[in-house]
A = this chain, B = another copy of it.
Amino acid sequence: MPPLIRPAVAADVPLILTLVRGLAAYEKLLHEVEATEEKLSVTLFGPRPAAECLLAFTPAGAPAGCAIFFTNYSTFLARPGLYLEDLFVLPEFRGQGIGKALLLHLARLANQRGCGRMEWTVLDWNQPAIDFYESLGAERKTDWTICRLSGAALARHA
């Protein structure tokens, strides 16, 4: 049986935080996590939600994973797109097609919303993820690098 996928609601915030921290631990980036239940509540379920969250559950009803995404924009296409910020499946539920179901759910959503493309990033050492994404038809934009201005470097331009 396929997993059940539904949009997250405010009451899911503790679960979302658990999943976000699980992803950060997997990516060896737990030290970067500043998210709290309160911050997630305000930014995901407040008056101006900055992103959307899908939750996946096993057929037996156990929370198994999540996809957090927002709308981006391509000037070349002059069309919006969907950007997948986080995709995570708890270790005990991997290999059951839950990540694929979340990604395909999002691809259907992108098509329904008239989006020209769907994008996300992958860590270079995460070969299982790279193979999985390429099997779905995704291309890796290896000639582009993300630049980031944050923390003190951003604050000094205030």
Q: Which residues of B lie under 8 Å from residue A118 when comparing CB positions? A: 148-150, 154
Interface readout for A110-153 with B: 1 if CB under 8 Å, 0 if not? 11100111111111110000000100111111111111111111
Instruction: Determine if B70 and A75 form an interchain contact, defined as CB atoms under 8 angstroms apart.
Output: no
Closest to A144 in B: B121
A29 at the interface (CB under 8 A from B): yes
Majority SS at the chain A contact face: mixed
Instruction: Determine if B136 and A149 form an interchain contact, defined as CB atoms under 8 angstroms apart.
Output: yes
Q: Which of A60-83 contact B (CB under 8 A)?
A: 68, 70-80, 83
- The oligomer's copy count stands at 2
Known: A117-B151, A119-B148. 17 other contacts (CB 8 A): A29-B76, A32-B77, A39-B79, A40-B75, A50-B71, A68-B73, A72-B83, A75-B85, A107-B157, A108-B157, A111-B158, A117-B149, A118-B154, A122-B147, A124-B144, A137-B149, A144-B146
Q: Count residues of A near B (Cβ-Cβ below 8 Å).
A: 71
CA distance A133 to B157 in the complex (A): 13
A92 at the interface (CB under 8 A from B): no
Interface readout for A30-52 with B: 1 if CB under 8 Å, 0 if not? 00111110011001100000110
